[in-house]
Structure 1
Amino acid sequence: MKQLNEKVAIITGAGQGIGKGLALHLAKRGVKIVCIGRRPEPIAQTAKEVQELGSQSFSMSCNTADREQVKEAVKKTVETFGTVDVMINNAQSIPPNAPVEETTYENMYLAWSTGTIGSLNFMQECFPYMKEQQEGRIINFASATGMFGYAGQLAYACNKESIRGMTKIAAKEWGQYGISVNCVLPGAESPAAKEWAKKFPEKYQAIIQQQPMRRLGDPENDIAPVIAFLSGPDSCYFSGQCLLVDGGYSIMP
């Protein structure tokens, strides 16, 4: 069984926020990182910072909803590093808020194509390599938005709930090949969270006051260590789980 510093990880949405934090943290532990995102400049910057930390990395622009682009990204990963050991599905487009009766097909499609379908695309393309080596780690990202049913976020939330279901089914089907599949629901200070806080400062402060630790998590220092565990050898018998990494916010009444 490979140690963490022997592994190759693909991270989607690696240009900023949680994805970038994961890339930098795993790089410090010796993981080779493939930075995936739509915009070339941010992911190239993340790959550069990974290399400066002493790990190997490259970036590749990719729309996760486009199966051919996903296929090319996984193919290049295997050509460059020999295999893929860890698939981290972090990318997600966020449609604007709307009540149920005003939620459009376009916004539903945006959420599902970049979330559930995008994650499935990468899972399926990575599967043959993980099956062949009888070892693999898939880490998907869901959200408490869906788990608790936040009003006004139908498109985003129901998509995130489907990712939780997909995670459990893949864990049951692929466990026989040594592939663990887990899901993380983070409470992190992402760029999207920061923008939301600027627009709704009073609501943001109300959330912080309800947070037992009185803060949101840092992507690199709070969220990424959990991802490192899920990526490494110590989690080989841990699968099909949905972890709330939110400083205890989800246990509040």
Structure 2
Amino acid sequence: MKPLEGKVAIITGARRGIGRAEALTLASAGATVVVSDIVLDEEMQSLQEEVAAAGSKSLALVCDVTKKEDIDNVVAQTAEQFGRIDILVNNAQTGLTPVPWEELTDELVTQSFQSGPLASWRFMQAVFPYMKAQGWGRIINTSSGASRGGVENFGHYAMAKGAISSLTYAAATDWGQYGITVNVIYPAILTASLKSYLDSTPGAQAAMEAHIPVKYIGDPLKDLGPIVLFLAGDASGYVTGHPFFIDGGAGQSPR
């Protein structure tokens, strides 16, 4: 029996990059995965095909995480079709483009917060009743090393990711009594967008890897997947309110 057999997971921002790797990891472990993103396209279709090849079920839903009604719809459809919600992986986030401080606007900062901590909180609040009734739940939020500084022109993104970390610690404090763990990951992983940048920028990859103690940029499936699988399963039942830096040592230690 696979370790997540019978479990149902929701993964946001799942059609590519980190979210895709998380969905495939959980599906390979036996979980039914509800994969959501702002559009349903060929990438999402291929993801569902990979999930099916792994022997698991999937449901793909459109979700603009800045809209509460979309979030509520994803949770309601998941519960209606599968009867339970066991795992939530909050991955979606906008505001990934660097913006100089003097060019930051209320709109940019608000968008970062709406798609990050507010969306994560709304999803958490929506799945909480199901997890509480079951006496079991796993929530994995996504922060970033940028929230601790060291990355130029990411004030809007850093603020949002820092709020996600605080949200995690607060929920872990209150929800552990119900068998629900809430943890936060800080991934520094080779996504499609990062690969595109590195391929088009001579010397960028070598410069980046020089600052990583393990001397390579992590792969989403190989390096991130096992940590997500641990946090999503029974083995992490005594681990809550913790940050997990999946960055090859680049962050060194929490600030």
- TM-score scaled to structure 1, two decimals? 0.94
Contact 2:93 2:115 in 1 (8 A): yes
Aligned to 1:36: 36
Kept in 1, the 8 Å contact 2:3–2:29? The answer is: no
Q: Secondary structure at the match of 1:181?
A: strand
* Match in the other structure for 1:57: 58
CA contact (8 A) 2:137 2:180 kept: yes
Q: Please tell me whether residue 236 in structure 1 is matched to residue 241 in structure 2.
A: no
Alpha-carbon offset, residue 119 of structure 1: 0.9
Q: In terms of mean alpha carbon deviation, does 63-72 or 100-109 score higher?
A: 100-109
Query: Amino acid of the residue matched to residue 47 of structure 2?
Result: T
Higher helix share: 1
Instruction: Measure how far apart 1:62 and its partner are.
Output: 0.5
How far 1:246 moved relative to its partner? 1.0
Which residue in the other structure is 1:180 paired with?
181
Point out the more displaced range, 147-156 or 33-42. Answer: 147-156
SS in 1 for 2:245: strand
Contact conserved, 1:149 with 1:157, CA < 8 A, in 2? Answer: no
Are the aligned partners of 2:171 and 2:182 in contact in 1 as well (CA < 8 Å)?
yes
- Distance, in Å, in 1 between the alignment partners of 2:161 and 2:150 is 11
Runs of 4+ in 1 over 6 A off after TM superposition: none
5+ long unaligned stretches in structure 1: none
Provide the C-alpha distance between the structure 2 equivalents of 1:199 and 1:173, rounded to a whole number of angstroms. Answer: 46
Q: Say whether 1:26 aligns with 2:26.
A: yes
- 2:240, 2:182 → 1: CA distance? 5
> Paired residue for 1:190?
191
The verdict on how the C-alpha distance between 1:157 and 1:13 changes in structure 2, with shifts beyond 3 A counting, is: same
SS at match of 2:92: coil
Q: Is 1:216 matched with 2:209? A: no
Change (3 A) 1:230 1:76: same
TM-score between both structures, scaled by the size of structure 2: 0.93
Q: What is the CA-CA distance between 1:149 and the residue it aligns to?
A: 4.2
1:92-241 alignment runs, 5 A limit: 92-198=93-199, 200-241=201-242
CA RMSD of aligned residues (A): 1.7
Q: Secondary structure at the match of 1:224?
A: helix
Instruction: Give me the whole-angstrom Cα distance separating, in 1, the residues matched to 2:60 and 2:209.
Output: 35
Structure 2: distance between partners of 1:98 and 1:50? 37
